[in-house]
Amino acid sequence: MHAPSSPAWSGSGDAATRVRSRRLLQLIAASMVGFGISVASDIHAADWTNLDVHVPTQAVLGVALWACVRGRLRLASALLLATVTAAISLLVWQNAGLRDPAMLAYPGILVFASTMAGRRLFYLTLAVVLGFVTLVAVANVQGWHVNPVPTHSFANLLDVWVLLAIDAFVIWLLAGDLQSALAGLRAENARVRQSQAHVEYLATHDALTGLPNRALAQDRFVQAAAQADREHAGLAVIFLDLDDFKHVNDSLGHPQGDALLRDASRRLVDTLRQSDTVCRQGGDEFLILLADVRDADGVAATALKLVAALAQPFAIDGHEITTTASLGIAMYPGDGRDFDELLKKADMAMYDAKAAGRNTLRFFADDMNAGLQEHVRLVAGLRTALAQGELTLHYQPQLRLADGRIVGAEALLRWRHPVLGLVPPSTFIRAAEQSGLVVQIGAWVLREACSQMKRWHDAGLADLVVSVNVSPVQFQRGSIERDVVNALAAAGLPAHALELELTESLLIHDSSKLTEVLLRLRAQGVGLAIDDFGTGYSNLGYLKRFEVGRLKIDQSFVRRLPADKHDEAIVRAIVQIAQSLQLTTIAEGVESAAVLAQLVEMGCTEGQGLLWSAALPAQDFEAYVRRHRAVGWVPRLA
């Protein structure tokens, strides 16, 4: 395979090709100069003996020079090697034999062959040289070709100088190349070592913050635990999670979220001792190891410093961001001696801190582990319940207070456990939300409620509306709109016969995506109600923005109406707000005629509760509605 035909020094080809081309040019030129000096010396001495060698040699070297310039480096190398070897051998043969100064050229030829011409040509050249000098020696010994013994002259001296100079030039060039190659190899080794160090660093550190990762934290835990055992001290494992970090990413963007994580990691490191370890567990979670601790009070004091450090505002790209952190703490060796076990317990304690209102800390306690086991048991049971049809819906009537007419039903989920019996949702809904199963369960509830309501419509109860509670997790997973549309389509139920009950916590974290989903559902005719209104933020802005139709007054206010003036004031205010916004109010937990009388006096529109009926299975609910309408029930006021 030949190199490109463009000049080798024109920039084409790789660096090695350019260096080889340059060396060939230099060696061909040096050879031509050396033979030229020898020719000039012979002409000056009127010695025409060697012209038959020099002239053809210069001609072939000219061809080699042309091949080199044209980029045909393999041809040029072969011509140079063959020409010089043949020329030197002929000069040795027809002059002084093994005593001839031309013998000094062989080392240079072999050096060139070993470095520039390849292994095969080197071995071939070596064999030719050894064979030739053996031939010369045998010819002289046997007498059939005897070379004359040379006499010293300035011409011989010049020949020796030229040959030694050319040998030195060849050796100097190739030694320089070797040194460059060695230097390149050393540089490459240094780069490899640097790359290996970088890979090892990445394997043990977080790329975003530069903090140790979990693998390195586990290694340091082993060392710290061994030291703690020797010194009869302790070790604390802290699991730290930034509160509501997702909202920073959603509102400002991920680059700003990454900047916040870097700044937060620096604050954590600056707050702790050099003997402590801060590692990024992933996302907005950090793992902290406090070495050489003596008691829980000292750990709590350090943890509170971390909470205070993170509570200070962060300046990110011109924005002032305030965040908090929830911390869970597990102690070595009291809570365990294994890293994974302590990390799991610190994680449980962190979630307990979240449940306690966030921006606080909690130490691990044994009852947390019991709670975790119960959670795992519930999740496993729910998976089975969903697969084996153990879930069912009960329906609680909703009545218009003005005339006592049943206007709808709230679908309430029940779990008919084969061992525990009927399990209320308060027992398992939280586990379903934490595990994500609430998305599948919620889709099933929508399908079942819509199908049942369609059957009631077909049976003559076409004025009823079914209310279904939806979890914020269903909105976060982005499945709610699809599930509603599919449930309505599968049942053939008109959209106005379905109402979704939303929590205030969902609406208070309003986002453009949530707004678009709710407005599309409203445009289809699906009703929206705010569940437990008055227990949360009670932001009136979303009532108008989402075209909410009903406000559900929480039963904690309704049940205490006759006895608590504050609850009475809250309920009255909610009813007045709803009236001014032309919304319907429905009171939950109506259990007595006295409460009913107060609600009617305040102007509350609808109600549900044990005064009328508990939640009933579908068949019993239909029978109850028919009896109720047949009798023509009228509110019994106290």
Name the range with the highest mean pLDDT among 145-154, 193-202, 371-380, 507-516. Answer: 193-202
Largest CA distance in the chain: 150
Angle at 578 between CA 573 and CA 584, to 5 degrees: 130
Q: What share of the chain is helix, strand, coil (3-state, %, to 5)?
A: 60, 15, 25
Say if residue 531 is exposed, middle or buried (CB neighbours under 10 Å; 0-12, 13-18, 19+). Answer: buried
Higher pLDDT, 436 or 221: 221
d(CA 391, CA 412): 11
Q: Which of 182-196, 285-299, 408-422, 570-584 has the lowest mean pLDDT?
A: 182-196
In the 8-state DSSP scheme, what is residue 100? S
The reported pTM is 0.51
For residue 628, the one-letter residue type is H
> Mean pLDDT of all residues in the chain?
83
State the Cα torsion 198-200-206-208 to the nearest 10°: 10
Higher pLDDT, 538 or 472: 472
- Short-list 431, 432, 435, 438, CA closest to 371: 431
Q: What number is the average pLDDT over the span 424-445?
A: 83
What's the confidence (pLDDT) of residue 632? 66
Higher pLDDT, 488 or 79: 488
Encoded tokens for 268 = 């954590």
- Short-list 561, 564, 593, 563, CA closest to 575: 561
Percent of the chain with pLDDT over 70: 89
CB 77 within 8 A of CB 124: no
Which residues of the chain form CATH 3.30.70.270?
214-364
d(CA 90, CA 96): 11
What's the confidence (pLDDT) of residue 139? 85
d(CA 250, CA 374): 33
d(CA 101, CA 166): 13
Encoded tokens for 60 = 């072939």
What's the confidence (pLDDT) of residue 9? 34
Which residues of the chain form CATH 3.20.20.450?
390-417+436-631
Q: What number is the average pLDDT over the span 517-536?
A: 85
pLDDT for 62-104, tens place per residue? 888 888 888 888 888 888 888 888 888 888 888 877 887 878 8
> Domain 390-417+436-631 falls in which CATH fold?
TIM Barrel (3.20.20)
pLDDT band at 511 (very low <50, low <70, confident <90, very high): low
Encoded tokens for 117 = 């011409």
CATH architecture observed for domain 214-364: 2-Layer Sandwich (3.30)
